[in-house]
Chains A and B, each alone.
Chain A
Amino acid sequence: MPTSAHCDTNQNAVTATDRRSFLKLAAMAAATAVATGATSATLDAASSTSTEGGVSWNKAPCRFCGTGCHVQVGTQNGKVVAIAGDQLADVNKGLLCVKGYHVGSILYGKDRLTQPLLRKNGKLKPISWDEAVATIAKRIHAAPDRFAIYGSGQWTIPEGYVAQKFMKGGLGNNHIDPNARLCMASAVTGFIATYGVDEPAGCYADLDACDVLIMWGNNPAEMHPVLFSRVIDRRSRGEEITLIDIGTRRTRTTEHSQKFLNFKPHSDLAIANGIAHLLIANETYDKSFVEKHCNFRAPSNPPSLKGQPISFDEYKEMVRPYTPEYVEQISGVPAAEIRYLASLFGDRKRRITSLWCMGMNQHTQGTAINCLVHGLHLLSGHFGRPGDAPTSLTGQPSACGTVREVGTLAHALPGGRLVAKAPHRKQAEDYWKLPLGRINAKPGYHTVKMWNQFCTATAAGGDIDTLWVQVTNPGQTLPNLHKLFNAKAQHPDKFLIVSEVYPTATTELADLVLPAAMWVEKNGVYGNSERRTQQWFKMVDPPGAARDDCWQTIAVAHKLMQLGHEGMKDRDGNFIFRCLDKDGKEVPIWEWEHYYDVNVDEILFEEYRQFTRLKHKDLAPYSEYVKTRGLRWPVVQQGDGSWRETKFRFSEFDDSYVTRGQEFQFYHSSTNDDRAQIWFSPYVDPPEMPGGDFPLWLATGRVLEHWHTGTMTRRVPQLDRAMPRAYAEMNPEDAAELGISDGDPVIVESRRGSIKLPAWINGRGNPPRGTVFVPFFDETLLINEVTFDAHDPFSKQPDYKKCAVRVRKAVEN
């Protein structure tokens, strides 16, 4: 893949001095965060909007990860000039990580896309917005069922909602799926299989109350650093808190942990089963909690998220083989450590929080391991009290808000509804005022299937021929890129549309590129990892002709209506995205000049809000979010008219939907009896394991300096210089056997592809023998040309953490 102009500029910019400066900055930020006690202090109130010294300040959630820190954005003369942590934000209380401090710079890379570009004779040429919108509308109109949208957990809630309504309510086409399929879909299926409804019951306050924090394949010290600071802050104040890192490689989180349990890739299921076995064998499980609030489930045939019911005795028999010694044999974790973990879970006086993210989700048994960890908390009664919580984290700022809640997945409708359920379709058709029967009952293509169909010749059954990508970079993040993305180049009849802010690996193959506004260049609403919905206003104009993604979708929808597509009209014959001003007059929001005549975000949000009550994910009016740094749903109106958020779902002391006297109530139970499900799932081998010609495990992941594919952070000079290129982190003994020295160029090769990159012996992670780690942020070194597209049977989430590779020293000319 070619390198962007920006990256060429920085190709040789790294120096040890840059690196040292970056690390010192990060170290001082972390130390100051703890020393000032900002994570637990009561802070003076400050105005959320103010002007001082010519700089206007306003609030916005950070653009990067799913933590949902709020920043204060300083603007002057139409430009973002300063960023500060927002002291009124409950999530971060004024703190930011090193990426957060630089978030303002992501707007100002020199290679921002500023005009629509259409590929003509192999080259992207500038065209007008009118031509771009008409081109898309004509392709869709010609074959609406062969069109798909690939979206994002970085979509704002209104952007995702518009795309969802356009596809499912307008075109009657369910081929819409987000990149979040690649990062947290297994968490969704785990929550639904266990509680009957998605998203964590607890919140970040659990981190302030737990005695034990278990991180399952999770590295919050680098990936969610502000959350991790909350924990380290407690320790520095003299509180006893035990950190346990269960991982396949060492990370910065390991450095802070009392225990590092190094397990063999994929064997986490055995560890969880081993703990469950001991809880029962030692009779240290919470009998009362289990009898009152839980059922037991095992995999069914055919497989389903409801599974088959089993008795406690059957469950006991199923986990019986998982003795500590057997688990040690599978996982490599000493039997004594399995007993230690079981002793922690068996002690009800301690409060235990489990955290996980990609390690458990990017897993061909992702749903199963999610269910097993929930099951440990339920079995041991470590649930529902502050500090007792199984909690998944997300990597994108609105993976929860836009993907899981708006339901921009191929099988879903807003508010936890499913396209396959007739009552759910009817509810959506009524909210949207659509003719009954408009919504298709058949789920669309999930991400891997969608891209496979797009990259397969039409004559060979590839039935997606136009694909619109918004706010994501699949040319870098899809697994097995040669098959699922690069193959597009062989099919000239296929048409790829990409709405983007910078040139990326995805725009390299795009037929039409649409320049997009980003972050505070537009209004927005995000939903973070702890059910917190967060709003912000546009603060600066986007560059050139860049425009909001939301507007782009609405403009194409309106053009389709002009072309005669009946789906773009509701049952009264009005445009499906009709917006009225305060006098009841329709505003032509499909014309960019009028898009901000009304607050389209607010109108869409209020429409969407109707959907949120079915699954008790109630949202407050838009105006309430303007006043706050976010509210955690369900947000329930009180007798005095105020709106109250919920920190701990299903717990009587905090959740107003729990019936008085129940203590705990899983009111969306899949068994309709207010009980959660404790699952058994056996350990099974992964579909590809090292051996023969491919003797090493490959894991991929992120680095502190860059956010995901680096599209934004590589435009921030300080971050780019600190980590300019990808590398292959190797074990010293493996490297020695292969004759590889630190810094040598090596070839990492799988059955699917290979890349050349420098070896870093030990690197940051000190990988165990037989394992290699490569980060995926570098668009010039696409490790996903090597990874595997095998995925979890329920969540359809691919496994980026495990495939078989070989490594050899590259022969230099």
Chain B
Amino acid sequence: MSISGIVIRLHRDSELARAGRAALQTEPRIELGTATSDRIPAVLDTVDRDESKRLVSWIEELEGVANVDVVFVSTESDSAELLQKRESIHAD
């Protein structure tokens, strides 16, 4: 599991920006927040950090996107099984 918080700055050209936003909305691993002018907060929910990096690269390459800033990164790699294993120790 890898969770990232990012800020996407859209292109100044409104047509390109609109296309960029539409492309972002097609990607289920991206949750878009409330936009302020040309900037959209978003959360990426991916399997691991490599996938997260690939997704950021994909966003950066969208024609309607001017810039992407990563502002929050979940640095752990967890699984439900491991969480369960940890908890079982305390249940002893």
Which A residues fall within an 8 A CB radius of B? 11-12, 14-16, 19-20, 23-24, 26-37, 229, 232, 235-236, 238, 250-252, 255-256, 724-725, 727, 742-745, 756-758, 760, 762-766, 780, 812-813
Contact = CB atoms under 8 A, between A and B. Distances in A.
Contact of B71 (A11, A232, A250): A232
B79 A16 contact: yes
Given A15-B80, A236-B69, A27 B74 contact: yes
B72 A27 contact: yes
A230 to B, nearest CB: 12
A32 B31 CA distance: 12
B78 A19 contact: yes
Nearest to A38: B36
Contacts of A20: 1, 3, 45
A813 B88 CA distance: 13
Interface string B43-75: 111000000000000000000000101111111
B86 A758 contact: yes
B43 A24 contact: yes
Contacts of A744: 85
Contacts of A23: 1, 3, 74
Contacts of A28: 5, 31, 33, 41-43
B87 interface: yes
12 contacts: A12-B87, A16-B1, A16-B79, A24-B3, A24-B43, A26-B72, A28-B31, A34-B41, A35-B39, A251-B75, A252-B75, A758-B85
Contact of B87 (A256, A725, A766): A725
B15 interface: no
Given A27-B3, A743-B82, A758-B86, A252 B69 contact: no
B6 to A, nearest CB: 6
A31 B7 contact: yes
A508 to B, nearest CB: 18
Contacts of A31: 5-7, 33, 41-43, 71-72
Contacts of A32: 33-34, 41
Given A27-B74, A36-B36, A250-B75, A15 B7 contact: no
A383 to B, nearest CB: 30
B19 interface: no
A8 to B, nearest CB: 11
A34 B1 CA distance: 23
A14 B87 contact: yes
Nearest to B75: A764
B25 interface: no
Contacts of A724: 87
Contacts of B92: 812-813
A35 B44 CA distance: 15
A374 B51 CA distance: 42
B76 interface: yes
B86 A743 contact: yes
Interface of B: 1, 3-7, 9, 31, 33-36, 39-45, 67, 69-80, 82-83, 85-87, 89-92
Nearest to A27: B5
A32 B32 CA distance: 10
A408 to B, nearest CB: 37
A238 B69 CA distance: 10
B90 A236 contact: no
B5 A235 contact: no
Contacts of B72: 26-27, 30-31, 252
A35 B33 contact: yes
Contacts of A765: 75
A709 to B, nearest CB: 18
Contacts of A30: 5, 71-72
B4 A27 contact: yes
B83 A14 contact: yes
A255 B69 contact: no
B22 to A, nearest CB: 19
Contacts of B87: 11-12, 14, 724-725
B82 A34 contact: no
Contact of A232 (B42, B69, B75): B69
B9, B33, B45 interface centre (most CB from chain A within 10 Å): B33
A19, A27, A30 interface centre (most CB from chain B within 10 Å): A27
A766 B34 CA distance: 34
B79 to A, nearest CB: 7
B89 A745 contact: yes
Nearest to B44: A27
A688 to B, nearest CB: 28
A34 B76 contact: no
Nearest to A236: B69
A11, A20, A23, A742 interface centre (most CB from chain B within 10 Å): A23
A238 B89 CA distance: 47
Contacts of B67: 236, 238
A250 B42 CA distance: 24
B71 A743 contact: no
A724 B86 CA distance: 10
Contacts of B40: 35
Contacts of B77: 762
A14 B88 CA distance: 11
A12, A31, A236 interface centre (most CB from chain B within 10 Å): A31
Contacts of B33: 28, 31-32, 35
Task: List 7 tightest A-B contacts by C-beta distance, closest first.
Answer: A27-B5, A31-B41, A743-B85, A31-B5, A23-B3, A16-B80, A30-B72
B78 to A, nearest CB: 7
A24 B69 CA distance: 16
Contacts of B4: 27
Given A28-B41, A34-B69, A758-B89, A15 B83 contact: yes
A36 B80 CA distance: 34
